[in-house]
Structure 1
Amino acid sequence: MTATAEPRSFAAAAAAPRVLRDHLWMHFATHNGRDEADAPLIVRGEGAYLFDDKGKRYLDGLAGLFAVQVGHGRAELAEAAARQMRELPYFPLWGYGHPPAIELADRLAASAPGDLERVFFTVGGGESVETAWKLARQYFKLSGQPTKHKVISRSMAYHGTSLGALSITGIPGAKAPFEPLVPSTQRVPNTNFYRATEHADDYAAYALWAADRIEEAILFEGPETVAAVFLEPVQNTGGCFVPPPGYFQRVREICDRHDVLLVSDEVICAFGRLGTPFGAQRFGYQPDMITTAKGLTSGYAPLGAVLISDRLAEPFHRTETPFMHGSTYGGHPVSCAVALANLDILEGENLYEHVRTNEDRFRTTLEKLTDLPIVGEVRGTGYFWAVELVKDKSTKERFTPEESTRILREYLSKQLFAHGLYCRADDRAEPVIQFAPPLICDRTHFEEIEQILRETLTGAWKLL
C-alpha cells in the first residue's frame, strides 16, 4: 500500500476481485496458480461451523488446526482480549512480569502432572519444542554433563518447522528442502500397530518392542550424548497412533536409567483433545517437560508454553545462570488473558468430561465406515481420530503414489470440502483422513461427519 492509498476493510477485500488477494502467500501451499485460484475464503465461525464468503456452511472437523477446543465465536474470549488490551496491551517478559502471565503460569502448574511447576511462555508449538531442546542442552551443561545434547524422536512425527524443531521432526519430505539441518537427532519406530512388522499378533509385546527401540538408540548414540526423547502422547502424522498399554511406562524407565529427559509434545494433545488437561495424564506417565500451544487459547490468540519440572529449573536457581532464550511476544498479556478465559470455559462447561463421555460414540460412528472396502482401520482416542485408507482390506495393500495423489489430493480433499466438511486428508505417511473437531461437538456432528465421509469414500473407491 502506498502512503496515499485508501485502506481497505476486510469485508471489501473479501468481496473484491481475487486480484486483491494475490499478495497472500499461503502456508504449505503450491504456488502454480491452482491453490490461489481454488482457495476458499473463510470469513466467519460459529460453534462447530465455518462459513465462507458465499455463505456456505462447513463443519469444522479439525478445530481449525487441532486448536479451537471451545468452538468458534465465543464472545467471552473476545471480551477477555478487549479488557486486557484496554488495561495493558503489551509488555515483554524480559526481566519483568505482568498479572495475566503470572496467573496463567500458576493455573497451568496447578493442573500439570507431578512437579511441572515452572512455565516458560512462547508464541506457538514449534517455538515450544525449540525452547525445550535448548533448555535440555543448557540444563546438562549446568549439571556437569556438557556432551548430552542429542534428541531422539519417532519416525514420521511432526514437531515443528523452525530449524531446530524441524530437525527433531521425523518426516523426510518436510526436511529435505532445508537440509542440512541441526545435527544430533535420531529416529526410532512409531507405534503404528496396524502396520507392525514385529509382534503383530501381540499388542503387549509390541509395546515393549517399540519402547525398547528408544533404549537401543540411546545406547547406539551413547547415553553420555543423549539429552532428551521427544514424543507425542498420540502421534499425529500417520494418523493418530495411540500408544499401546505399557509403552510410556517402559519409556520412562529407559529415560531414568540413562538420565535422559522425557519431553511430552502436547501441542495437539493438551487441553482436552484426549479428555484430560494434558495427554500424559491420559496415559499415566510423568514427563520432565510438556510442550503446548494450540488449545491453550483455543486458537483465539497465539500462545504456547513449556511446562518444566523443578528438577530442571534447580541448576538455574542454584547458579543464578540465565536461560538465554526468549521472544518478543512470548507470554503476550492479551494472549494470556484469552488463555485464562479459555480455561474457564473448558472447566466450567465440563468439556474434559464431555470428551471422555462421547469418545466411544465418536469411535463407533466412525467405525460404521469399516463396511467400505477402502477403509482399513479407524484409530484414535478422545476427539482425535483417523481413518486409514487401503487398496485391499484383506492384505492392507497401500495405494501406489499415483493412486494416492488421485484419491486423496485430487478427489477426497476437494469433495469433502465441497460436501461441507473441513478435515485433513494426508498421505505423508499412510493415507488417512483425520478428525479433531471442537470439543463442544456431539452425536449429531459425528453423524454428519460419517454421512459425508461415507458418500465421498464411496466415490473415491470407484476411482481405483
Structure 2
Amino acid sequence: MSESLINAEIPGDMSAWWMPFTANRQFKGAPRLLVGAKDMHYSSHDGRRILDGTAGLWCSNAGHCREPIVRAIQSQAAEMDFAPAFQMGHPKAFELASRVAALAPGDLDHVFFSNSGSEAVDTALKIALAYHRVRGEAARTRLIGRERGYHGVGFGGISVGGIGPNRRTFGPLLPGVDHLPHTHDPAKNAFSRGMPQHGAEHADALERIVALHDPSTIAAVIVEPVAGSTGVLVPPVGYLERLRAICDKYGILLIFDEVITGFGRLGAPYAANHFGVVPDMITVAKGLTSGTVPMGATIARKHVYDAFMQGPEHMIELFHGYTYSAHPLACAAGLATLDVYRDERLFENAKALSPAWEEAVHGLRGARHVVDLRNLGIVAGVELTPRDGAPGRRAFDVFVRCYEQGLLTRVTGDIIALSPPLMLKQEHIDEMFGILRRALDSVD
C-alpha cells in the first residue's frame, strides 16, 4: 500500500454524499475513513491497520485486493468493458452461471444475474409470481417473509423483510404480504452453540398463514437460512426442513436468501448445502465476487425454469432484466473469485476453523454487558444489554471503540456481528476477540 494512501487527508467537504445506513451527522463530525485494503486488513486515513472482522459488509469472503481477482478485472476491462445481455451474450456469463449452479445442491441449475442482493431478491419474487401465472395459477400472488428478516432495500425486499426501521418510512409497500414469526427465543436458547435445540415448531406458523389466506393464493415463502443483518439468528434444529415440507404440501415455492450465507460463510458453498435442504430458488451476491464488482444472482430449480420455456421460440419468456446483468467485469471477478475459493480451499478452511471460532465466541460468556452469544460457521452475534432510554447506543460505542483499537465490526441494534474473510487464521481469531473483550470492558 502506498504511503499516500496510508496517510490520506480527511476531505474538506463531506456534505455532498448522503451516506447509506449511516448516522450522517455523527459520522461527518468524527469520520472513520478507510483508504486501503489487503488480505485481512484495511488501512485507515491516519495510518492504522484495521483487522476486518466483517468481510467488508459480509462480502469480501476471499479477502481484500487478492491478486488473481484484481488481474482478472484489469484484463477484462482492457478486453471488453461492456456487453449487452438483452438478446446477446458473452462467454464468461455462461461459464460463471454454470459454475455457480454446479456448487448448488439438487437441480438448482439455472442462474439469472443481477447487480446486488436487493435485485436478486426482487428477481426471485418476480419469478415466483410469474411461475405460478404461466402454470395457470395466477391467484397465487401472496408473498410470505419473516419477522426480523432482511432481504435488501428494493420495494419487494422491504415488503417481505421484517426489520421495522427499514419499512416504516416508506408507506404500505407491496400488498398481500404476510410474515412468519422469527425464531429467536433467548429464554430457551440463550448461548446456543451452533443450531438451537428449541424452536422448530415456529415453522408451523406457516400452516396458520395458509389456513388464513388459502394456499391457492400463496406464491412463495422467503427466509434467510441464517438471519444476518438482524444480528445473527441461527435456525433451530429441524426448522428449515419443516418449512420445506409445508411448502411442498401446498405447492408454495421456497426461497433461501443466501446473500450473506452464500460462498463459504458456513463452510459450504451455500447454506442449502450445509443444512441439506433444497429450496426452489437461492439468492446470492456479496461473496459471489468477494465484493470487488457489484453482482447478484438468483439460482432456480429446473422445474421453475422449465415452466417458462413454452410458446414460440423467438418470444421472450421472462420480461425482466437489468442493463448490467452479467456485466463482463463482474463475470471476470466472479470466475476469479471462485478460483480463489477452490485453489486456496477457503470453504474448507472456514469449516476447519469453525470449532475454534465457536470457542472464541463463547469465551465472551460472562464478559461485561453480554447477554447472549450465537454462532454458526464463521459468523457470530454478540448481544448486549441496552442502555436505559438509549437502545443501540452501547453497541455503537463498542463498535467505535473496536475501530479505534484496530478491529472493524458490524453493529445492529445492541448486537455486534462478526463475519471475517475466510482466509482467517487462528491468530486473527485471537486478536479479534481480544480487542472485542477490551472494548466491552471499556464502555459503560
Structure 2 residue aligned with 1:77: 69
Per-residue CA distance 1:87-142 (angstroms, 9 max, x = gap): 21101211111011010011112111111111100000000000000011011110
Matched residues in 2 for 1:170 and 1:442: separation?
35
- Give yes or no for contact 2:10–2:45 (8 Å, CA) kept in 1: no
Structure 2 residue aligned with 1:49: 41
Q: What does 1:118-267 align with in structure 2 at a 5 Å threshold?
A: 118-195=110-187, 206-207=199-200, 209-267=201-259
Deviation at 1:52, TM superposition (A): 1.2
Matched residues in 2 for 1:434 and 1:348: separation?
28
Amino acid of the structure 2 residue aligned with 1:413: F
Amino acid of the structure 2 residue aligned with 1:441: L
Partner SS for 2:37: strand
Matched residues in 1 for 2:182 and 2:229: separation?
10
Cα 1:458/1:140, change in 2 over 3 Å: same
**Matched residues, percent identical?**
35
Matched residues in 2 for 1:15 and 1:442: separation?
29
Matched residues in 1 for 2:187 and 2:319: separation?
43
Q: CA RMSD in A?
A: 2.0
Partner SS for 1:324: coil
Structure 2 residue aligned with 1:28: 21
The correspondence for 1:366, drawn from 351, 361, 364, is 361
Structure 2 residue aligned with 1:329: 324
Structure 2 residue aligned with 1:452: 435
Cα 1:203/1:100, change in 2 over 3 Å: closer
Is 1:291 the counterpart of 2:274? The answer is no
- Give yes or no for contact 2:267–2:377 (8 Å, CA) kept in 1: yes
Deviation at 1:366, TM superposition (A): 1.8
Amino acid of the structure 2 residue aligned with 1:419: Q
Structure 2 residue aligned with 1:442: 425
Per-residue CA distance 1:331-378 (angstroms, 9 max, x = gap): 101100110000001011111111110011011012111022422222
Cα 1:162/1:401, change in 2 over 3 Å: farther
The correspondence for 1:97, drawn from 83, 89, 95, is 89
Structure 2 residue aligned with 1:59: 51
Per-residue CA distance 1:279-338 (angstroms, 9 max, x = gap): 111111010000000000000111110001110111211235521111111110110011
Cα 1:373/1:87, change in 2 over 3 Å: closer
Of the structure 1 ranges 369-378 and 415-424, higher mean CA displacement relative to structure 2 is found in 369-378
Q: What does 1:345-356 align with in structure 2 at a 5 Å threshold?
A: 345-356=340-351
Partner SS for 2:269: coil
- Give yes or no for contact 2:106–2:278 (8 Å, CA) kept in 1: yes
Q: Report the structure, 1 or 2, having the larger helix content.
A: 1
Matched residues in 1 for 2:219 and 2:376: separation?
30
Deviation at 1:401, TM superposition (A): 5.4
- Give yes or no for contact 2:198–2:237 (8 Å, CA) kept in 1: no
Structure 2 residue aligned with 1:412: 398
Amino acid of the structure 2 residue aligned with 1:22: S
Matched residues in 2 for 1:265 and 1:240: separation?
14
Matched residues in 2 for 1:111 and 1:412: separation?
37
Structure 1 residue aligned with 2:373: 378
Matched residues in 1 for 2:54 and 2:211: separation?
39
Structure 1 residue aligned with 2:410: 424
Matched residues in 1 for 2:283 and 2:388: separation?
34
Matched residues in 2 for 1:414 and 1:360: separation?
28
Cα 1:194/1:205, change in 2 over 3 Å: closer
Matched residues in 2 for 1:68 and 1:203: separation?
27
Give 5+ residue unaligned stretches, structure 1.
1-10, 391-398
Is 1:19 the counterpart of 2:12? The answer is yes
Matched residues in 2 for 1:104 and 1:222: separation?
39
Amino acid of the structure 2 residue aligned with 1:369: L
Give 5+ residue unaligned stretches, structure 2.
none
The correspondence for 1:113, drawn from 105, 121, 131, is 105
Cα 1:136/1:373, change in 2 over 3 Å: same
Of the structure 1 ranges 130-139 and 369-378, higher mean CA displacement relative to structure 2 is found in 369-378
Of the structure 1 ranges 49-58 and 399-408, higher mean CA displacement relative to structure 2 is found in 399-408
Per-residue CA distance 1:226-272 (angstroms, 9 max, x = gap): 11110111111332111122111111110001100000100000000
Cα 1:224/1:196, change in 2 over 3 Å: farther
Deviation at 1:196, TM superposition (A): 5.3
Deviation at 1:56, TM superposition (A): 0.8
Of the structure 1 ranges 286-295 and 154-163, higher mean CA displacement relative to structure 2 is found in 154-163
Partner SS for 1:19: coil
Matched residues in 2 for 1:246 and 1:206: separation?
8
Amino acid of the structure 2 residue aligned with 1:76: P
Matched residues in 2 for 1:339 and 1:367: separation?
34
Structure 2 residue aligned with 1:5: none
- Aligned pairs, number: 434
Structure 2 residue aligned with 1:344: 339
Per-residue CA distance 1:21-50 (angstroms, 9 max, x = gap): 33222111234x332122222110011110
